[in-house]
Chain A
């Protein structure tokens, strides 16, 4: 069975500071990994995804994530936070085989950016 753990349901950073949102997964087969962002009163949007190949993945709005197999992690980072980054972020995992139902979301991390 696969699962996703997001460490920290709430993270606060100052504007201009590093953003680090943590995601660990468990999967018995090679995973596909995703980060989605949800702005207030909106649906989720894809930030970035890892499928195969390069382990450092760049997404929209200056975010990136690194797949570390040895640590079973896929942490999301951004060098300098902006006020517009305030949102809820979800990590998700699926794998190359299986049905459409097998996309598992983490519980989410609410990011607050302080002026």
Chain B
């Protein structure tokens, strides 16, 4: 099994450009998440999805959009990129819902630089 696959691994954007970070999982997990990781700040939740067609905002959603048309895919779109969006982005998924004992499976990350 591939687990959680993210593409691209690296990307440089100019201010104002747009792009989509792709995320796919093959574990039939209902829940999927997008986090960003900034140095010394831990992981912050951007958006999450509890199933196909259902998404909701996390802690830091501004400047991002998501969609979930299938169970497998959860792309993250950046509109009008800004330097503040320079970060490492992680996609994750989990089988069970709720905030309890569910364990997240993470992708390898996408490093985005906005110049």
Contacts and interface: CB of A to CB of B under 8 A. Distances in A.
Interface of A: 4, 9, 32, 34, 36, 41-46, 49, 51, 90, 94-103, 105-108
Contacts, number: 74
* From A43, A90, A106, residue with most partner B Cβ within 10 Å: A43
Contact of A99 (B43, B98, B107): B98
B56 interface: yes
A95 B4 CA distance: 25
A45 B109 CA distance: 12
A9 B19 CA distance: 32
Contacts of A102: 99
A45 B106 contact: yes
B104 A44 contact: yes
Given A43-B109, A44-B90, A44-B104, A101 B99 contact: yes
Nearest to A46: B103
B40 interface: yes
A73 B100 CA distance: 18
Interface in B14-32: 31
Given A41-B108, A43-B90, A43-B109, A49 B42 contact: no
B4 A43 contact: yes
A90 to B, nearest CB: 6
Interface in B88-111: 90, 92, 94, 97-104, 106-109
B74 interface: no
A107 B42 contact: yes
A49 B99 contact: no
B60 to A, nearest CB: 11
A46 B93 CA distance: 13
A108 B104 contact: no
Given A44-B90, A105-B42, A108-B42, A100 B106 contact: no
A3 B4 CA distance: 27
